[in-house]
Chains A and B, each alone.
Chain A
Amino acid sequence: MKKRRGIREGNPVITFFLYALTAFLALVTVYPMYYVFILSISEPKAAAAMNVYWIPKGFSLDAYKALIGDSEMWRAYLNTILYVVCTTILMLITSVMVAYPLTYKGLKGRKYINMFLLIPMYFSGGMIPAFLLITKLGLYGHPLSQIIPACFSIWNIILVKAYLSSIPEGLREAAKIDGAGVFRILVDVYLPLSKPILAVLAVYTIVAVWNNWFSALIYLPKTDWQPLQLYLRRVLVEDTKQIQEVMGPEMAQEMVRKQMSGAQMKYAMIIFTTLPVLFAYPFFQKYFVKGVMLGSLKE
């Protein structure tokens, strides 16, 4: 028994190795963010030269000051939060609404539904037809253009379905005996057990909506409803050199000015806009807790 207990605890050498490997990976992934952070608070010229590695060179909060003082930026922030909240909630609802019925293995028309879902994942008409549709629906320039087309995802449906399928059918049978109907089973049996996958979905959706700028680029011509990433990308992209074009002297000069002033801005922007999302994950982490299934089986 003693020997077995020793193995149960885990070989200390291997444990050390695993911890060391994890530490190495954590360092390798944390460092670049740290790098971006110190660039954002260094002296502007040092930020342009990009030669700070361990500690900031000089100190300057100018980039952050410029960001915070920009009222348009805050409006964009609010817009993004609105889009994130609405889209995520809707996404969870739509995913479950299709995934749950698909767990009924004998459901009539399954094959057709699967084909119906699979095709749009690969085939799409492109930007212009989508644009024409949105315009026809009267959503051009309207914030709903950012929420409604984005609130469902076939990939998420497939994912949730795969997860729900691993919930034992016995639970469903038990509930049926108790007289539960289809909807009741969903709410009483499946939903409580889906916390882990819903948490994952929430994180995915929050991140995706937070980072999205392309649909805003096409459908929101006025700055009122534009999200944060579009606003930030504007500043970031304006600094990228257009190598292809032969520029007139004034344009060339303008490019240089933009690059100089924008060099540090982009680092401050990354830090500023990433932090909220980074903190969203730990909040959802508590749903990835072992023992979620345990409770239901005992029932």
Chain B
Amino acid sequence: MKKKKRKKIVWTSMGTVMAASLVVGLSGCGGSNAEKKQKAEETAAEDGLETVKIFGKNYQFTGSGGQKVTLKDWSTQGKSKRWKKLTDDLADKGVKLELELIEPDQYETTCQTMAASGEFSKYDLINISPLDDKTKINLVNQKQFQSFSDIWEKYSEGEAKDFFETEAGEYFKNHMKLEDGKCYWLSDFSTGIYKGETKANMAQGFQVRQDWLDIVGEELPENIDEVHQVLKKFQDEDVNQNGKADEAFYVNFSGFATDVAQWFGLGPSIAFPNTQDNDTVTSPWYQENVKKYIEYMKKLYSEGLLKMDDEQFSTHMSNNEVSAISNYATQIWLEPTVAIPEGADYPWYVPLRAKAVEGQTPLFRGQYHYNPSTRAYAVSGSSEKQEAIAKILDYLLTEEAQLVQEYGIKDVSYKEEKDGRKQRIIDATLENTDAVEIALWINDSIFPRFDLYKDVSDEMETSIDIAKDNGVTSNPEGKYDFMLECVNDQEHRLFHDDTPYGIPTIEEIDKQNAISSDLNTYSQELLSKLIMGQKSMDDWDSYIKDLKDLGLDEMISINQARYDRAMK
């Protein structure tokens, strides 16, 4: 009896394994058959169009109702009018796209493994954003990517060539070029303008709850003492009415990008180009008012008015605990995440700049009016589709293409108001597959995003609309006013990220890599602990010495070199 049972088990398991491998093997074969069929169909349908093989990310848009639309959906389901327009227009130019899309969470790893195995040669245009600069440069040296500059110079039918000769184009080129003066990959690029005249782009700011100010009967604070007072009053009077003194300003204060630091004239990162000092790169640690800033934040923290912004932030927002934030001035997407108590007004964050120190105008962080990004799209070294790619580039640089990309099709994904302003159509269920704000092909997916006709007044005016739609009666134009102030005060703007720097050389990268991790760890720890009162200000000189030992000055000089190469 036992023997039979055992034999049964052994045979059953072997049988299962064999059956399973059969299934797997068959489907594997079936899969490649289907693929072969598809390729045959494609080559048959070529009809004179150049196919450009693209390897990119399957960007996924999440609607406010939780529904999702992906680039794959657009390219395969045939429901998107915007996608149809893109492909039709490209077909008119004789270009056809063949997409290989990988899911966003896998993209980084897949890109690296593709680089390692030399698979890039299978494609023409590749989204190489996940690769670090050193790898990118090394791959260029290995001839895995070819020169984009050569492509547009030789094959552009107009738009691309023209663009790169404008001031904006020059700026872009200078920030993308490698040591030989050529660009081997392109990032996104936006230019900002206000009402067609003033050059300006998105600004960021410290924003406080206007509706809470009304509850406690205060005006918008104008200096740091008033800011302190107002934050304290929110807590004392328990404006969110949950019985706890939990109303606070949430920001990541282990770094200097807090907007409050900028009121003291400090830069937002450990080594930054100081626009107030002829763009000389320096560190907030060396600046005049750094101690005063830390003392101020220390005071706020010790009174429970300042808290660290971390992964729990969205929970705190939900719980209506956040009195103030640091974010883009015209943001209108954080307010909906607050769970408003019964009968309360719609939450409304209004940005402001407060005076901190005598003789120091409060600065603000903002995008430069020419704004590249950290993304990268490259052409593989073995590709022979230079002409087709140049045509794509030409197309992406036209105003028409950018309209489809930013807003879409009129009356399908956007409406035009009487005053000519465009309003995007929002569809929470995403039944309207085109109602996805910006097109799915330029958001870190397959194409670089050129946004050359952006007028920031659109965003500004949208903020007023949103306010009115939600019944905000008190200071609905708060965000607009602040942005306008910033637009007209560009001389007090600081760069908000690292994009002003040019591409580093390999030596610079190596030097930076050797320093940055430890330096950043030390700086973040030090700043957090000083503000939290866990380290004493008395040992200031030893801290500065430590920072120097860790290479702060070297970091500064590297960044200066990179800045000068690109900007001057």
Binding site for B on A (CB under 8 A): 45, 48-51, 62, 66, 82, 85-86, 89-90, 93, 127-128, 131-132, 135, 142-144, 147, 187-188, 191-192, 217-218, 221, 223-224, 230, 233-234, 237-238, 240-241, 243, 245-246, 248-250, 252-254, 256-263, 265
Contact = CB atoms under 8 A, between A and B. Distances in A.
Given A49-B319, A233-B105, A238-B104, A131 B6 contact: no
Given A234-B105, A237-B105, A254-B61, A48 B31 contact: no
A270 to B, nearest CB: 17
A50 B64 contact: no
Given A89-B16, A132-B116, 10 more contacts: A49-B318, A142-B28, A144-B24, A187-B6, A191-B6, A192-B2, A234-B103, A249-B328, A252-B328, A257-B62
Q: Which of A132, A240, A248 has the most CB of B within 10 A?
A: A248
Contacts of A260: 64, 314, 336-337
B113 A250 contact: no
Interface string B481-514: 0000000000000001110000000000000000
Closest 5 CB pairs of A and B: A261-B66, A49-B318, A246-B497, A253-B333, A48-B318
Dominant secondary structure at the A interface: helix
B105 A261 contact: no
B17 interface: yes
B557 interface: no
Interface string B303-319: 00000001101110011
B20 A82 contact: yes
Contacts of B17: 86, 89-90
A259 B337 contact: yes
22 contacts: A45-B339, A48-B318, A49-B339, A50-B315, A51-B319, A82-B24, A89-B13, A127-B109, A218-B109, A218-B113, A234-B103, A234-B105, A238-B104, A241-B313, A249-B459, A250-B438, A253-B333, A254-B61, A256-B333, A256-B334, A257-B63, A257-B333
B334 A48 contact: no
B60 A238 contact: yes
Contacts of A45: 318, 339
Contact of B6 (A49, A132, A192): A192
A85 B15 CA distance: 12
A197 to B, nearest CB: 16
A248 B373 contact: yes
A257 B437 CA distance: 13
Contacts of B315: 48-50
Interface of B: 2-3, 6, 10, 13, 16-17, 20-21, 23-24, 27-28, 31, 60-66, 102-106, 109-110, 112-113, 116-117, 202, 252, 257, 310-311, 313-315, 318-319, 327-328, 330-331, 333-334, 336-337, 339, 373-374, 437-438, 443, 459, 496-498
Nearest to B340: A45
Max chain A C-beta neighbours (<10 A), residue from B64, B66, B339, B437? B66
Contact of A238 (B105, B116, B438): B105
A152 to B, nearest CB: 14
A234 B109 CA distance: 14
A249 B27 CA distance: 44
B328 A254 contact: no
A40 B443 CA distance: 31
B62 A258 contact: yes
A187 B2 CA distance: 11
Contact of A265 (B65, B66, B373): B66
Contacts of A234: 103-105
Given A82-B20, A85-B16, A250-B443, A128 B113 contact: yes
Nearest to B31: A224
Contacts of B328: 249, 252
Nearest to A257: B62
Contact of B311 (A241, A245, A249, A253): A241
Contacts of A221: 102, 106, 110
Residue of B13, B102, B314 contacting most chain A CB atoms (<10 Å): B314
Nearest to A250: B438
Contact of B117 (A131, A187, A248, A257): A131
A100 B113 CA distance: 38
A89 B257 CA distance: 54
A217 B318 contact: no
A108 B76 CA distance: 61
Contacts of B334: 256
A30 B567 CA distance: 60
A143 B373 CA distance: 37
A263 to B, nearest CB: 7
Nearest to B406: A250
A250 B105 contact: no
B135 to A, nearest CB: 12
B327 A252 contact: yes
B314 A86 contact: no
B330 to A, nearest CB: 8
A98 B6 CA distance: 20
A252 B6 CA distance: 60
Nearest to A231: B103
A252 B311 contact: no
Contacts of A243: 252, 310-311
Contacts of A90: 17
Nearest to A146: B24
A265 B66 CA distance: 9
A100 to B, nearest CB: 14
Contacts of B310: 243
Contacts of A246: 257, 496-498
Given A128-B113, A260-B64, A188 B3 contact: yes
A261 B62 contact: yes
B24 to A, nearest CB: 5
A243 B310 CA distance: 8
Contacts of A252: 327-328, 331, 333
Nearest to A295: B2
B378 to A, nearest CB: 19
A184 to B, nearest CB: 10
Contacts of A49: 315, 318-319, 339
Contacts of B16: 85-86, 89
A36 to B, nearest CB: 15
Contacts of B20: 82, 85-86
A49 B103 CA distance: 29
B350 to A, nearest CB: 17
A234 B137 CA distance: 30
Contacts of A147: 24
A124 B319 CA distance: 46
Nearest to B334: A256
A217 B105 contact: yes
Given A51-B319, A82-B24, A187-B6, A250 B62 contact: no
A250 B437 contact: yes
Nearest to A136: B117
A143 B311 contact: no
B123 to A, nearest CB: 13
Contact of B116 (A50, A131, A143): A131
Contacts of A241: 311, 313-314
A191 B10 CA distance: 11
